[in-house]
Amino acid sequence: MSLSVKDRVYAAAEEISAERRPTVSTVRAAAGVSNADATRYLKEWNEERQAAGGQVAATPPLLLEAAARLAGASWAEAVSQANERHAAVEALWAQERRDKDEEISELVADLDAANAEKDVTATAHAEEVARLQEQHAGLERRVAELGQQLEDALNVQRATAAEAADSARAAAIAEARAATLEQAHNALLARISPETGITDK
């Protein structure tokens, strides 16, 4: 069972008083307590000792030695337990640190992979854009060529239509002239036939 702070101060004061007068600094060092606790409980120890008169001096040395050994054993046990707890906490902290470092490494690797994928995607996108721009330029050139061909074909069509209209007009004129000539010829034949006495059989 661990001793209380007061018990440790009292035990240290008893042990030191066997050789010399205990002070705050010597009791604090021997008991492993704070300066305030050493001051407070050493004062109480002195007051109780004075109140007890010579009883402290009459305390058997064996009892004092046993109390000192008990205090030392208790203190050693407390230190051992504290060291064990410290080691356990330190091991847990080290494991948590390793886990965090591993997690950070994984996050960094994921970030690097994402950046690399983004770079590859950006490069592929740029190449695709360049290809599409080149294809678009080719299509624009082809459209311009087809437009020129269409314009040329329309010009030829218009010229052909004009020539056909001219031919149709010429044909109509020729047909009219032929009809006129035929009428004149028939009229001439009609005038000639009575005078020659030629009759139709």
Q: Using the predicted structure, report yes or no on whether residue 166 has a pLDDT greater than 50.
A: yes
pLDDT tens by residue, 180-197: 988 888 888 888 876 555
Domain boundaries, the chain: 5-86
The span from the CA of 159 to the CA of 163, in Å, is 6
Question: What pLDDT is stored for residue 26 in this prediction?
Answer: 95
DSSP 115: H
Closest alpha carbon to 76 in 162, 165, 11, 141:
11
The span from the CA of 158 to the CA of 90, in Å, is 99
Structure tokens at 127: 């190449």
Question: What pLDDT is stored for residue 56 in this prediction?
Answer: 47
Please say whether the beta carbons of 24 and 42 come within 8 A.
yes
pLDDT tens by residue, 121-137: 778 888 999 999 999 99
Question: What pLDDT is stored for residue 51 in this prediction?
Answer: 86
Structure tokens at 155: 């010009």
Exposed e or buried b per residue across 71-80, where buried means at least 16 C-beta atoms within 10 angstroms of its C-beta: beebbeeeee
Please say whether the beta carbons of 5 and 71 come within 8 A.
no
The H-assigned helical ranges of 18-60 are: 24-31, 35-52
Q: Which amino acid is at 152?
A: D
Please say whether the beta carbons of 22 and 9 come within 8 A.
no
Question: What pLDDT is stored for residue 57 in this prediction?
Answer: 53
pLDDT tens by residue, 90-149: 898 899 899 888 888 888 998 898 888 888 877 888 899 999 999 999 989 998 998 899
pLDDT tens by residue, 9-61: 999 999 999 999 999 999 999 999 999 999 999 999 999 988 876 554 556 66
Mean pLDDT score, 61-82: 80
Question: What percent of the chain is modeled with pLDDT above 90?
Answer: 32
